[in-house]
Amino acid sequence: MADTGDHRIRLAVEGPLAIITIARPEKFNALDHAMVLALERAAHMVDADGAVRAAIITGEGGKSFCAGGDIEAWSALAPADFALAWVRHGHRAFDALARLRQPLVAALNGHALGGGLELAATADFRVAEDHVKLGSPETGLGIIPGWSGTQRTVNRFGPQLVRRMALLGEVFTAEEGLRLGLVDALAPQGGGLAAATAMAQRLMARGPLATQATKMLINAAEGEELHRPLEALAGGLAAGSEDLRKGVDAFRQKRTPEF
């Protein structure tokens, strides 16, 4: 088990598969500030592990995948602290997950509401157990969906569906979520992680470099990011060129390269 800095965010690496588990079932896997920071660290650890080819994120306990931000953790914050720490750090953690070079599968073994749905949206694929409910209830509490619940979720699910959840407060069942495109596959109760693992195995059976490059390009098309895929792909092209070999040889020999 890798050390994420918080025992409630567990990272297990099993060969080419990494599994991130939110382990606070007594609070429905709600995130406090320390957990948000640990989630970001876990994402960076997965991204940096060259042996990992796919990742899964899930929750412990079976009642809630993630209840989003712990209301006790953010409701008493001053506006500046809310904006500069809570929202900012949440964005950093969720962006790190969404921009993993490896494909990420969310195993929704419990409800994904509010920040939990925003967290699920960072994944490339979502597998939901058949008892799961999905929605964005934040405006009913007088707050906005602040961890990219009006941005990344629109790119992933479409603006009108997000309007129905975030403005009208509609909550969807897993079966409705499959029909509407909120989730990609269903599993029986208790079978979410196994189904997500099977999906990860399918992903890992494909060409790893092609899979990672394709994911980066899809992210760029969605507006997730653009500069990193361009630089990474261009850098890879240059790294495999004869020009680089000539340039490095000339540097080592302290002479001007002849391209």
Catalytic entry in 40, 118, 129, 224: 118
Q: DSSP state, 182? A: S
d(CA 211, CA 214): 5
Q: DSSP state, 81? A: H
173 DSSP β-pair partners: 133
- With beta carbons less than 8 A apart as the criterion, state whether 235 and 144 touch: no
Tokens linked to 255: 């002479």
- With beta carbons less than 8 A apart as the criterion, state whether 99 and 108 touch: no
Residue linked to tokens 């092209």: 237
| Residue 118 annotated in active site | yes
Closest CA to 176 of 148, 194, 191, 157: 157
Question: Phi/psi of residue 65, each to 5°?
Answer: -60, -50
- With beta carbons less than 8 A apart as the criterion, state whether 113 and 139 touch: no
In angstroms, the first-to-last Cα distance of the chain is 48
As a 3-state breakdown, the chain gives helix, strand, coil percent values, each rounded to 5, of 50, 20, 35
Closest CA to 7 of 20, 19, 23: 23
Catalytic entry in 40, 60, 129, 138: 138
Pairing of strands 185-187, 17-22: unpaired
| Active-site amino acid positions | 118, 138
